[in-house]
A and B are shown apart, each in its own frame.
Chain A
Amino acid sequence: MKIINNENTFSILFFLILFIIIYFVNFFVGSAIFERTVTNLFIYIILVVGLQVFMGNSGILSFAHIGFMSIGAYSSGLLSMPIKMKGFVLRDLYPIFENVAFDPILSILIGGIFTAIIAAILTLPLMRLNDAAAVISSFALLMVIHSIVVGWSAVTNGPRTFFGLPKATTLEIALIFSFLTVIFAFIYKNSKFGLLLRASRDNDIAAESIGANIVYLRWFAIIASAFLAGIAGGLWGHFITSFSPKSFYLKETFLVISMIIIGGSFTVTGAIAGALLVTIGYEFLRWTEKVIKFSDVITFEFIGLTEIVLSITIIIFLITKPKGLFPFKEIGDTINKIIKKE
């Protein structure tokens, strides 16, 4: 089937150029903090676009995504952590893992695959649920994953910080992975599976009546989505190098869901736009906070102000654009139209 249609090509090209521009901007800014932000942004793009693969196309809100991310982060970390560090971090580790220290990138890939396998096992029965039941079961799944991570001290160090991962994720790696993710998301969306899944999102009964097997369509999407989340988790883990189960909990879940909804969950463009917008907003606020703190002008404490401003912005944004920035049309469609007009 013809996958690379005009819309895909234009959108993919657009984002390739955009990513490269961001890369070069970073190059010229040359600040460590900026680079950190940009790397983080690319990882978030993988995460949000990965979420879009499932949530956008199936129309089912998934809370479990951050849980999948944590599986990727912990499993890849477990594989790549230097043996010496394992002695500090995971004192009760099972012997088979004690002497494992794979290459970080290999670990990240294995982590992604592992996450996908876990997702495949856990989610198959859930895929037949609709509406509220589906959303809530994904929420419960997040809680289950979170509780396991918190409880399974032997491999995760429990609620405590998991540290000692080699710092392996660079801006370039994040960029490449996120670009591949974007390509995948576009191809998937316009593939047979993507189209049928989108049909089922609009009307499941009608979709069945044209031969769509909704359970398997959703299942495939969530496995792909979990794989990407696992990869994002691995990349993030090897970027931050120390984190705790709290890094994969409600606040982060809502951050990611805010991103996708602000951008518009039905489109890949929306997912990327959301990630960009929220990251920019967040970083801007953090920057303001920092500038104020360093400036000695305002001496009273204003902790929490960042979050307040961010929440108010999100509320106002969603009131004015409840379906997000890119509700239906990909950026490529628009470009295509402009080109055709001329």
Chain B
Amino acid sequence: KEVLIGGAACETGMQAPLDTPGINGAKVAVKYLNDEKGGILGRPVKFVNLDGKSDPVTVGNSALEVIAQGAEFIIAPCDFDFGGPASMAAQDAGIVGMSLCASDPLFSSWSLGDKQFTLSMWNTTMSATAAEFAYNEKGWKTAYVVTDQIIAYTRSLSEYFLVHFDAIGGKILLEDTYTNGDNDFSAQLARLKALDEEPDVIFISSYGIDIALITKTLREAGITAPILGGDSYDDPSVWEALGTKFGSDVYFVTHTWMGSAEGHPDMPEFVKLYTDYHGSAPDTAFVATGWDTVMLFAQAAEIAGTTDGAAVAKALEDNEFNLLTGDLDYSNAADGHYPYKAAALVGLTEGNPSFLGWRNPENPPAP
């Protein structure tokens, strides 16, 4: 009997740009497992994703649906708000659920249960990396922070940045908020302009195309400070929207680098597999999260010798894994399944990304 991997990731709605690459990556991994590795535990692997539609309720329904069909592993959307319901369903069914890339520390065994994981580093790591890059490497002493209120991810990303930037000596000039989908930033702009000094760096914690929109608005208003953000920037449509005109002096922290073997020695091989499968090369690091999610489950199941939820969870807790998105080591359930992981740093020039290397923050803030 085949091993069914069930997905409730979002193919439509605001979450789609982050989840769809993951789904695509996962498909490649499934094919690879079946073709090259004889499946998982000798059983063929099948992956079915039912669209979660960027709506927690639908995500929950989809997860239940795939579980009812016999799924033994759940792939949850890339975010706590959307992914949580899928993991809760998985937890109820006693199987392991893993988010493609939820990075909010809320996505932990504390809140979801002892069989739930996220593949991503937590925002503690992501924000600390950004803060240290700004202050230590670039010498930017003052920051202006805009937080999108839309999901837990955007909020906690800012939160940890504020804490860490402050902790290592930086100065926050102003914290500002808005909610995704507001197409008007005149308020934020007005407040920014009212500051006595221009900030050295602007940290924008937002989501999707809004990143480009805010950046554009800032630049159009004559503000030239560099822009810094998290993995949601790792989205080619954002880069395209920024274009050559606005796509410079933008930096972000993400999961890995797809462009070359600098990201990971196996990367070129993955890129080739991916290209063979989908007909075009991967364009964001999020495809790697999909591949890794499936491979991680496969490795853990092989170690455990079973797909049983508790056993796989234990295997995940007790071992270290070498992944395209870096080396990963989970803490045990009592400590929240903290993902010990490094972060990749990428910069944009005229809309084109370039790899700045792996970073590992020294003292990330506590979750």
Contacts and interface: CB of A to CB of B under 8 A. Distances in A.
A6 interface: no
Interface in B144-171: 149-152, 155
A303 B11 contact: yes
A301 B84 CA distance: 25
Give the interface SS of chain B, mostly helix, strand, loop or mixed: helix
Contact of A31 (B49, B68, B85, B179): B68
Nearest to B83: A161
Interface string A127-168: 000000000000000000000001001000011110110000
A195 interface: no
A160 B65 contact: no
Contacts of B50: 289-290, 293
Nearest to B68: A33
Given A160-B151, A161-B84, A290-B50, A244 B110 contact: no
Contacts of B149: 153, 158-159
Interface stretch (B51-59, B121-129, B131-139): B51-59
Nearest to B61: A36
Contacts of B51: 303
A159 B150 contact: yes
Contacts of A242: 56-57, 60, 84-85, 88
B322 interface: no
B80 interface: yes
Contacts of A293: 48-50
Given A36-B61, A150-B179, A163-B88, A243 B56 contact: yes
Contact of A240 (B49, B60, B179): B60
Nearest to A85: B111
A304 interface: yes
A294 interface: yes
B82 interface: yes
A33 B48 CA distance: 17
Given A160-B80, A241-B60, A294-B69, 5 more contacts: A36-B61, A158-B149, A241-B85, A244-B56, A290-B50
9 contacts: A159-B149, A159-B151, A160-B80, A161-B84, A241-B88, A242-B60, A242-B84, A244-B56, A246-B55
Interface of A: 31-33, 36, 85, 88, 150, 153, 158-161, 163-164, 240-244, 246-247, 289-290, 293-294, 301, 303-304
